Structure 1
Amino acid sequence: MSTSHELLWSIGELAERAGATVKTVRFYSDQGLLPEAARSSGGHRRYGLPALERLQLIRSLRALDLSLPEIRRILEDEDAVGSVLESAVDSRLRELGSELKALRWREAALQLVRDCPPAQRAGRLRLLTALNTPPSTAPLARFWRAWLPPRMPARATAAFLDAAVPQPPDEPHPSQALAFARLHAMTTAPCPDGQQPQPEVHRVAGARGAALLYAGLLEAFELAAPRLRRAHDPHPGEALDAYVGAYASAYRSHDTHEFRRSLAARLSAEPPLSQYWELAGIVLTPPGGRPQPTPGSADNWLRTALQLDNARAGSGADGGEG
């Protein structure tokens, strides 16, 4: 009960002091979140300073998008304030990050539609609206899962997808947004014959052999990546040896000059995926930035290095015979 000298307010006066509506104050009172100091002779609620402080706290917590159960827990258990607030703030920050990313992708898409020739706007709009905002990498992952050998071990598949699927940037340049939209269209388009073509080595190596193959190839790509970043010309060396060794293991062979010649011929006969890797490189590299290596660009670099190595070996063999 209140004392005779305690300042008491009606529900309207409390609402006015807190900058809230009477409806809001009544709602929190009905939920049992605002302490009543007394009742008037007519049965009307009267509130003191603790109710004003409690109402201000509730409104601050609501501004953080905390739910009513979370607010009740904070009000009823002071020990839970820190953990509940931390969890709520972290959750809201994640949500805001996702919302901001979606807005930036929409902005980039609108710029692309605005800046393209009028005759191309309808087609570009269809291309871009096929994407979620922010875009999902799931269609690209499905494309590669269909390309990889069936029953390939999950860990090996995950490692390959991590390298092969470019993550959409949080703040895309319009060129990056367009490249990702084209990747999405490319990977979701039906195959001409209803079945995605696969390289010969998948059939030879099988699921487990392919897992070893791609582990070796990823190692070779990592070795080649610094050379690509420094724009070094392709050349034989440690990266090429790892590259050839991965294929030699898959084909159950040995790294010999003869195998390197046959490997170059096999690789040249494989279905090209150059468009995918070109687009992936654009997604990963903002305009003006240093080009980021992709498995595709590393593979091209290593194939060229293999061709150069074969040419030098052939030249040396010819010179020896002469």
Structure 2
Amino acid sequence: MDGEELVTIGELARRTGLTVKTIRYYADTGLVPSTDRTPAGYRRYGAQAVARLQLVRTLRELGLDLGTVRRVLDRESTVGEVARAHADALDVQIRTLRLRRAVLRAVAEQGSEGEEIAMMHRLAKLSDEERRRMIEEFVEDTFGTADANPELVELLRTAVPELPEEPDPAQVAAWAELAELTRDEDFRASLRRMAAYQAAERAAGDTTGLHHRLTEQVREAVGGALAAGVAPDSARAGQVVAGLTARYAQVFGRPDDAALRAWLLTRLEVAGDPRVERYWELLARINGWPVPSSLGPVFGWFTAALRAAA
């Protein structure tokens, strides 16, 4: 054929690494038809057929089905279009596999069984939007109907769990625990009480927001007392309490008296649910944020010392 070099199907198999049977199948289905036949009926292939077969092999090794390969060869789709669509599909598959791996490792580490495994797998598959909706519903149910601290409500709404593309088992386990926590009716009831308390405080004139600096001052003062082994019912503890109540009186514009201490005790008790701190700890683990040190011992000591000083 005009001097074009033609090769046999056996030679083509040696050049491409495909079996004769596979090449013959591609020829019979029209994917890579032979260029010519010998008088004895043996197939022979020219350069165009060789190039076409190499493209078929490459696309198949990349995971494309024969129908898609045929559309490329028939110029119904470009290689670029097909590659882009296939890469997008692989991204989804890879993310799914990574999540499955993380769930399995979390199950292995925790010794989970039955319903817990199914729940963890289902939660791990949720999309970012589905996780966001879950948190929005949780916040709306607990804080949404009360005129609570707007800074806290906004923080809860915007601090959404975001599993990374390749979560580790600890992040998957943290997300499963957080999701269960948001559905805990007892925890929700506790937060509604907190929201109602904040709303009542705001109705009474409290327009203050979050008190990060005040919290850090409590952490510093009480942390020092804890480190020194100061008992909450000791005279030394009374001095620590006096310094902190003076600071609360200044921040909230109230007299530093017995009424302030009673008010502060109520405030600490309403906000003292340890599950609140656990919520933020889990959220930090999921999102890869620094996990803050626990304030539980600090406010536990402060509450005990306040009672002792009353």
Shift of 1:197: 3.1
Q: Deviations over 1:108-153 (max 9, x none)?
A: 202322xxxxxxx7xx54323321267147385243342231499x
CA 1:193–1:282 in 2, change beyond 3 Å: closer, same or farther?
Answer: closer
Name the amino acid aligned to 2:5: E
Does the 8 A contact of 1:39 with 1:46 survive in 2?
Answer: yes
Please name the residue that 1:172 is paired with.
Answer: 169
Counterparts of 1:48 and 1:256, CA distance in 2? 92
Shift of 1:7: 0.7
CA 1:43–1:76 in 2, change beyond 3 Å: closer, same or farther?
Answer: farther
Shift of 1:106: 0.6
Does the 8 A contact of 1:8 with 1:47 survive in 2?
Answer: yes
CA 1:281–1:191 in 2, change beyond 3 Å: closer, same or farther?
Answer: closer
Counterparts of 1:158 and 1:256, CA distance in 2? 25
CA 1:187–1:290 in 2, change beyond 3 Å: closer, same or farther?
Answer: closer
Please name the residue that 2:45 is paired with.
Answer: 47
Does the 8 A contact of 1:127 with 1:182 survive in 2?
Answer: no
CA 1:42–1:190 in 2, change beyond 3 Å: closer, same or farther?
Answer: farther
CA 1:150–1:100 in 2, change beyond 3 Å: closer, same or farther?
Answer: same
Does the 8 A contact of 1:104 with 1:172 survive in 2?
Answer: yes
Please name the residue that 2:254 is paired with.
Answer: 257
Please name the residue that 1:278 is paired with.
Answer: 278
Q: Which secondary structure state, in structure 2, belongs to the residue aligned with residue 281 of structure 1?
A: helix
What percent identity do the matched residue pairs reach? 18
Counterparts of 1:73 and 1:96, CA distance in 2? 24
Shift of 1:181: 3.6
List runs of 5+ in structure 2 lacking aligned partners.
226-243
Shift of 1:171: 1.5
Counterparts of 2:159 and 2:76, CA distance in 1? 47
Please name the residue that 2:291 is paired with.
Answer: 292
Taking structure 1 as the reference length, what is the TM-score of the superposition?
Answer: 0.53
Does the 8 A contact of 1:148 with 1:202 survive in 2?
Answer: no
| Correspondent of 1:163 among 159, 166, 169 | 159
Please name the residue that 1:116 is paired with.
Answer: none
Counterparts of 1:197 and 1:158, CA distance in 2? 16
Note the 1:1-322 alignment, pairs <5 A: 2-10=1-9, 14=12, 17-18=15-16, 19-20=18-19, 21-22=22-23, 25-26=26-27, 29-30=30-31, 34=32, 36-38=34-36, 46-66=44-64, 68-69=67-68, 72-73=71-72, 76=75, 81=80, 85=83, 88-89=86-87, 91-113=89-111, 124-132=113-121, 135=124, 136=126, 138=131, 141=135, 142-150=137-145, 160-163=156-159, 165=161, 167=163, 170-173=167-170, 178-190=173-185, 197-199=192-194, 200-201=196-197, 203-204=199-200, 216-217=209-210, 220=212, 255-258=252-255, 264-270=264-270, 272-275=272-275, 277-278=277-278, 281=281, 284-285=284-285, 292-293=291-292
CA 1:291–1:39 in 2, change beyond 3 Å: closer, same or farther?
Answer: same
Counterparts of 2:120 and 2:92, CA distance in 1? 21
Shift of 1:52: 2.6
Which protein shows a greater Rg? 2
Counterparts of 1:256 and 1:27, CA distance in 2? 89
Q: State the number of aligned residues.
A: 265
Please name the residue that 1:118 is paired with.
Answer: none
Counterparts of 2:254 and 2:83, CA distance in 1? 65
CA 1:268–1:205 in 2, change beyond 3 Å: closer, same or farther?
Answer: closer
Q: Which secondary structure state, in structure 2, belongs to the residue aligned with residue 170 of structure 1?
A: coil
List runs of 5+ in structure 1 lacking aligned partners.
114-120, 207-211, 235-239, 245-253, 316-322
Taking structure 2 as the reference length, what is the TM-score of the superposition?
Answer: 0.54
RMSD across aligned C-alpha pairs, in angstroms? 5.9
CA 1:144–1:304 in 2, change beyond 3 Å: closer, same or farther?
Answer: same
Does the 8 A contact of 2:37 with 2:43 survive in 1?
Answer: yes
Counterparts of 2:253 and 2:134, CA distance in 1? 36
